[in-house]
Amino acid sequence: MRTLRLKLNVGSAQTDHLAVCLREAFPEAWITDFEPLIAGMANEPKDRHVLAAAAKAGAETIVTFNTKHFPKAALDPLGIEAQSPDDFLIHLYHLNPRLTTRRLLQQAADTSRTLPELLSALGIATPGFVELVLSENG
């Protein structure tokens, strides 16, 4: 929410609405009681809360556009890695191409888009993933 507000100039009403929607859609994704771990994190200070929450949750991967704020030296002792969204989606696709393609088709339908329209939007942030999907699915 901080990034949306401060770096992308998204208003408080929109970010508050997004937070409510995310909490409803993914209640299991909200981590609590991680604050005592923040001081012990060795990554970028402004992102230590992210690593602390990941450690508390037992996460194996942090998906971020800002991988430089999560250096290997800070992550390795916790058994966590940082991946870009593009790398993460490529990895998911390789694990199960059929399921990934089905989910893309469902997401396109849920947002009243065609698959090419969805892929065009996704291609802005995840060009490698989109290229892979297109090359495998014609």
Residues 75 and 91 in one domain: no
- What integer is the mean pLDDT of 9-29? 89
Give the pLDDT of residue 26: 87
Residues 35 and 78 occupy one common structural domain: yes
User: pLDDT tens digits for 66-96?
Assistant: 999 999 999 999 999 999 999 999 999 999 9
Residues 66, 79, single domain; the answer is yes
Provide the domain count of the chain. 3
Last residue of a domain, one of 83, 98, 120: 83
Specify whether 12 is located in the same domain as 35.
Answer: no
For 23-71, the pLDDT digits (tens) are 898 888 889 999 999 999 999 999 999 999 999 999 999 999 999 999 9
Alpha-carbon separation of residue 5 from 17, 50, 91, 135 (angstroms): 13, 17, 30, 36
Q: Residue 74's domain spans which residues?
A: 31-83
Q: How far apart are CA 2 and CA 18, in angstroms?
A: 12
Point out the least confidently predicted range of 5-19, 87-101, 120-134.
5-19
